[in-house]
Amino acid sequence: MDPLSDVLSMLTVSSTLSSRFEARGRWAFRYPHYDSHIKLGGVLAGRVLLDVEGASAPAALEAGDFYLLTNGQPFTASSNPPGPVQDGLQVSRDFRGPDGVLRYDGQGAEDGSLVTMVSGRFTLAGEAGELLLRHLPPLIHLRASDPGARPLVGLLDLLRWETAEMRPGASIARTNLAALVLVQALRVHLANAPQPEGWLGAMTDARIGAALSQMHGDIAQPWTVERLAQAASMSRTAFAVRFKVLTGSTPLDYLGGWRMTVARNALRHSDEAIARIAERIGYQSETAFSAAFRRMVGESPGRFRTLSRSDRAISP
């Protein structure tokens, strides 16, 4: 499995294509800070300005463009030019119709062109989510003209059709479409970013990415720095230095951390025996795994499983 697919498969994700938005005239909606989400959207018609706290400048989106918001910062979406700023959450509550579409007439609506958007969110939880989010810029603007964006254009057409009216199976179709948009959007971003930071940059580096793919493809292997360097076609020293520069970790620290991420996920979400988890992620015995888990997590695998299930039981 390639590293991006591996990380995405480990996320606790609630993906929803939550709304279709139609507006005329001049308008501007302000949205507050949010937690553990990637927000995504696409412009079906018109022009939209998107201003995110922490981004270098507002993004001017045209029909066919997508965006990803990744760091939870407050943001403002508006017509171009904008109207008076209003509370976006309150507008959503007041103007969303029974069909789920938010329709709004702003200043000069009688003469204004129609703006139509679709938007969704991915609620991420767990260590894999942190690995993904901490290396993404606060705003990713994907233009319809960007190299590799053609699949997004096709997905936007499907989103246009799915959100135009309620159809049988709409919920599952929209959720799966949103997931496809996220994967494809990340692909386009990685392909076009001058130099993605951190783990994402390591994944797109030809040599370090090859080693990461080997590692993620079989984490139970007794990997050594020498073997990983061979996979990267580099000397041991050059590989170790390059890996740490890009990821912030040594190769074996990264491997150990990912093994524990896989273990925590299994302990939280499955009844798999602890001995089997240990074997699957590369430990020779349950005792060795338990010692490593306690050292890195601060408690035994059994206690971690018990506490995780207790937390889920009391969550609203």
Q: CA 244 to CA 207: how far, in whole Å?
A: 13
The residues near 170 (Cβ < 8 Å, ≥ 6 apart) are: 162
Q: CA 171 to CA 163: how far, in whole Å?
A: 10
Main-chain phi, psi angles of 218, to 5 degrees: -155, 80
Give the architecture-level CATH label for domain 205-314.
Orthogonal Bundle (1.10)
Q: CA 30 to CA 175: how far, in whole Å?
A: 25
pLDDT for res 208: 92
Kindly state the average pLDDT of the residues 116-129.
Answer: 74
The proportion of the chain whose per-residue pLDDT surpasses 90, expressed as a percent, equals 42
Q: CA 98 to CA 91: how far, in whole Å?
A: 15
| Cβ count near 213 (within 10 Å) | 16
pLDDT for res 37: 74
Q: Where are the domain boundaries for CATH 2.60.120.280 in the chain? A: 3-195
pLDDT for res 304: 93
pLDDT for res 316: 42
- pLDDT exceeds 60 at position 106: yes
Please state the length of the chain.
316
- pLDDT exceeds 70 at position 17: no
- pLDDT exceeds 50 at position 75: yes
Kindly state the average pLDDT of the residues 221-225.
Answer: 95
Work out the mean pLDDT of the chain and round it to a whole number: 84
- pLDDT exceeds 90 at position 62: yes
> pLDDT grade, residue 15 (50/70/90)?
low
Report in angstroms the alpha-carbon separations of 244 from 159, 217, 253, 257, 276.
Answer: 40, 20, 10, 14, 31
Kindly state the average pLDDT of the residues 162-173.
Answer: 66
Q: Where are the domain boundaries for CATH 1.10.10.60 in the chain? A: 205-314
- Cβ atoms of 40 and 122 within 8 Å: the answer is yes
> pLDDT grade, residue 315 (50/70/90)?
very low
pLDDT tens, residue by residue, 190-220: 777 766 667 777 887 889 989 999 999 899 9
> pLDDT grade, residue 170 (50/70/90)?
low
pLDDT for res 169: 66
CATH level 3 topology of 3-195:
Jelly Rolls (2.60.120)
pLDDT for res 180: 76
pLDDT for res 310: 72
The residues near 282 (Cβ < 8 Å, ≥ 6 apart) are: 219, 220, 221, 222, 259
Question: pTM to 2 decimals?
Answer: 0.70
Residue holding tokens 């919920």? Answer: 171
- pLDDT exceeds 90 at position 120: no
Strands (DSSP E) contained in the chain are: 12-24, 28-31, 37-45, 48-52, 59-61, 66-69, 75-78, 85-87, 101-105, 115-125, 139-142
- pLDDT exceeds 70 at position 36: no
The proportion of the chain whose per-residue pLDDT surpasses 70, expressed as a percent, equals 83
- pLDDT exceeds 90 at position 39: no
Which class for 173: exposed (0-12), middle (13-18), buried (19 or more C-beta within 10 A)? middle
pLDDT for res 314: 45
Q: Which residue has the higher pLDDT, 131 or 88?
A: 88
- Cβ atoms of 267 and 309 within 8 Å: the answer is no
> pLDDT grade, residue 10 (50/70/90)?
low
3-state SS, 264-309, equals HHHHHHCCCCHHHHHHHCCCCCHHHHHHHHHHHHCCCHHHHHHHHH
Of residues 19, 172, 177, the one with CA closest to residue 97: 19
- pLDDT exceeds 50 at position 40: yes
Q: CA 293 to CA 263: how far, in whole Å?
A: 9
Main-chain phi, psi angles of 54, to 5 degrees: 100, -20
- Cβ atoms of 141 and 65 within 8 Å: the answer is yes
The residues near 106 (Cβ < 8 Å, ≥ 6 apart) are: 23, 24, 25, 26, 27, 79, 83, 112
